[in-house]
């Protein structure tokens, strides 16, 4: 276990009210003794109790660098389970860097990216899934992603996986014990018990796997593509959603030729919205490229907003779009509902099989109903996070899939009446894969790769 003192700036490097320089390690008091003096004239932090702040000065060869507030947290009741000191100084770039340089000159070394959280993991304060939740909190783009990450940081995923791994380990241990001592430990009736346990474990794991799509959308946003004919009001809808004239809107058909992308929040849900070229045949090569891009992005979309001009009859271009969205999540928006209609809401719902919402981008109506429909469609209108866990990490999803496949092989072996040692192999494979999520079965290189994604000071 590393015992050297690490240090880093824990706040953003810009002018601010305060900046924080964080130190962690067994010998933090030895470093601070050389550079901090309290207002009462006491040098260092050795006499300061944990969870205590003290006012004083950072000194360099008899000169005051800054007046500061020092916070001390004693091992093991700290973020890293080591002695931790935080120096709260004035938030200037020059003074912050000068204090960090002074700390390093007096015995600390610069922390690597994510090294504070890595030490928390290595010292057993958090597992790897909780460590990854830390970086997800930092990178959260919306309230729901933040809530999910906080939920995981508090150990929700760790708790679920611990229950499953505990059942797997007990079953494996029983099999191994029975094989080693068949005279005293019987496997009679155990297959049925193992089958029940494996079904229970698979139900938990498969539920987590099924949550990954929603988890990705929580973290990255719902990939939303606006489709429709030229002049249906797609760009006007984008402008209405973002509350700004981001897209050019004219009466000229084919104004939008490239994909315009914006990120918006709807009821706490992040949407990455792409306005695309109108779907129609065209001899204009540039517009053709735009139409091809629209089709490409629509294939990869989580949600399609199909905008229909209610004042114009449907044609072959609409029929192409209707056929395209038939098997996709889509909402039909009947735009220009303030004009004389050529097509009605009921007719459009019957032809598309989708929810139809009347809107007017010009009059700014229908937006609230659209927002609620999106929330209901993807997250049943609400995310409580009481028992629900959403997997947002591709590495975790891959490990869950491997574990699920191994447990499915256990059920196949039971069905085929295979020898019991076959069960143990696949049970332990599942156990190891789940351990990769929590970090209990993890090679050092992969751990280093994960923590390199963190920012300095965390």
**What is the spatial distance between Cα 229 and Cα 253, in angstroms, rounded to a whole number?**
9
| Rounded CA separation 258/255 (Å) | 9
Q: Looking at residue 337, what is its pLDDT?
A: 72
- Kindly give the pairing relationship between strand 303-309 and strand 330-335: parallel
Mention the CATH class of domain 218-379: alpha beta
Helix ranges, 28-105 (H): 28-32, 93-105
Residue with tokens 């992005």: 297
In which residue are the tokens 């700290």 written?
Answer: 78
Residues of the chain with CATH 3.40.50.300: 218-379
CA end-to-end span of the chain, whole Å?
A: 19
CA angle 201/204/206 to nearest 5° reads 105
Q: For the structural domain made of 132-211+391-452, what CATH number should be given?
A: 1.20.120.430
* SS3 letters across 5-18: CEEEECCCCCCEEE
Length of the chain in terms of residues written: 458
Report the side by side order of strands in the sheet with 16-24: 36-38, 52-60, 63-73, 84-91, 16-24, 6-9, 109-110
User: Which residue ranges does the chain devote to CATH 1.20.120.430?
Assistant: 132-211+391-452
Q: State the span(s) of the chain assigned CATH 3.30.1360.120.
A: 6-111
Residue-level pLDDT at 14: 81
| Integer Cα distance of 281 and 161 in angstroms | 53
* Residue 369, φ and ψ in degrees, nearest 5: -65, -40
CATH class given for the domain over 6-111: alpha beta
Q: Are 407 and 205 within 8 A, CB to CB?
A: yes
Q: What span, in angstroms and rounded, lies between the C-alpha atoms of 328 and 323?
A: 10
3-state class of 347 per DSSP? helix
Tokens of 85: 């000191």
Q: What is the pLDDT of residue 285?
A: 61
Give the strand pairing for 269-275 and 260-266: antiparallel
Give per-10-residue mean pLDDT for the chain (458 aa).
84 88 96 96 96 97 96 96 97 94 96 92 91 83 77 86 94 88 83 94 94 78 84 81 53 47 78 74 59 77 88 86 88 83 84 89 83 78 58 90 96 90 91 92 74 74
- If we measure between CA atoms, which residue out of 174, 212, 240 comes closest to residue 397? 212
Alpha-carbon distances of 276 from 75, 161, 237, 297, 336, rounded to whole Å: 56, 43, 12, 9, 19
**Segment holding 401, helix H or strand E:** helix 394-415
Residue 312 burial class via C-beta count within 10 angstroms: exposed 0-12, middle 13-18, buried 19 and up: middle
């Amino acid at each position: 276990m590393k015992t050297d003192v690490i240090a880093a700036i824990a706040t953003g490097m810009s002018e601010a009210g305060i900046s924080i320089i964080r130190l962690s390690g067994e010998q933090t008091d030895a470093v601070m003794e050389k550079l901090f003096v309290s207002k009462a004239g006491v040098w260092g932090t050795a006499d300061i109790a944990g969870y205590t702040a003290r006012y004083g000065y950072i000194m360099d060869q008899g000169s005051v660098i800054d007046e500061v507030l020092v916070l001390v947290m004693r091992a093991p009741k700290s973020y890293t389970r080591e002695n931790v000191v935080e120096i709260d100084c004035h938030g200037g770039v020059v003074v912050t860097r000068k204090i960090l340089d002074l700390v390093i000159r007096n015995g600390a070394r610069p922390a690597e990216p994510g090294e504070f959280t890595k030490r928390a993991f290595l010292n057993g304060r958090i597992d790897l899934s909780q460590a990854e939740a830390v970086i997800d909190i930092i990178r959260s783009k919306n309230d729901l992603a933040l809530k999910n990450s906080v939920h995981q940081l508090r150990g929700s995923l760790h708790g679920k996986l611990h229950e499953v791994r505990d059942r797997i380990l007990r079953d494996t241990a029983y099999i191994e014990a029975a094989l080693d001592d068949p005279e005293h430990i019987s496997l009679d009736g155990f297959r049925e018990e193992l089958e029940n346990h494996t079904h229970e474990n698979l139900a938990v794991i498969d539920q987590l796997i099924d949550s990954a799509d929603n988890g990705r959308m929580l973290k990255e946003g719902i990939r939303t593509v606006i489709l429709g004919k030229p002049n249906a009001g797609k760009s006007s809808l984008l402008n209405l959603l973002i509350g700004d004239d981001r897209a050019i809107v004219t009466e000229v058909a084919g104004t939008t030729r490239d994909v315009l992308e914006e990120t918006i929040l709807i009821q706490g849900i992040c949407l990455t919205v792409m306005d695309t070229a109108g779907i129609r045949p065209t001899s204009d090569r540039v517009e053709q490229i735009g139409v091809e891009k629209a089709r490409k992005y629509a294939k990869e979309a989580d949600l399609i907003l199909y905008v229909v001009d209610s004042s114009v009859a449907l044609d072959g271009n609409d029929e192409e779009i209707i056929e395209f969205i038939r098997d996709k999540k889509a909402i039909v928006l009947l735009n220009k509902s303030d004009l004389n209609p050529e097509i009605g809401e009921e007719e459009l719902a019957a032809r598309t099989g989708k929810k139809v919402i009347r809107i007017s981008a010009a009059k700014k109506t229908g937006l609230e109903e659209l927002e609620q429909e999106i929330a209901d469609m993807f997250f049943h209108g609400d995310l409580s996070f009481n028992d629900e866990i959403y997997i947002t990490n591709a590495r975790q999803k891959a490990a869950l899939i491997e574990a699920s496949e191994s447990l499915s092989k256990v059920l196949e072996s039971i069905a085929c009446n295979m020898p019991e040692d076959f069960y143990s192999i696949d049970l332990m494979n599942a156990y190891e894969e789940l351990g990769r999520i929590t970090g209990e079965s993890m090679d050092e290189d992969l751990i280093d790769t994960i923590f390199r994604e963190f920012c300095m000071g965390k």
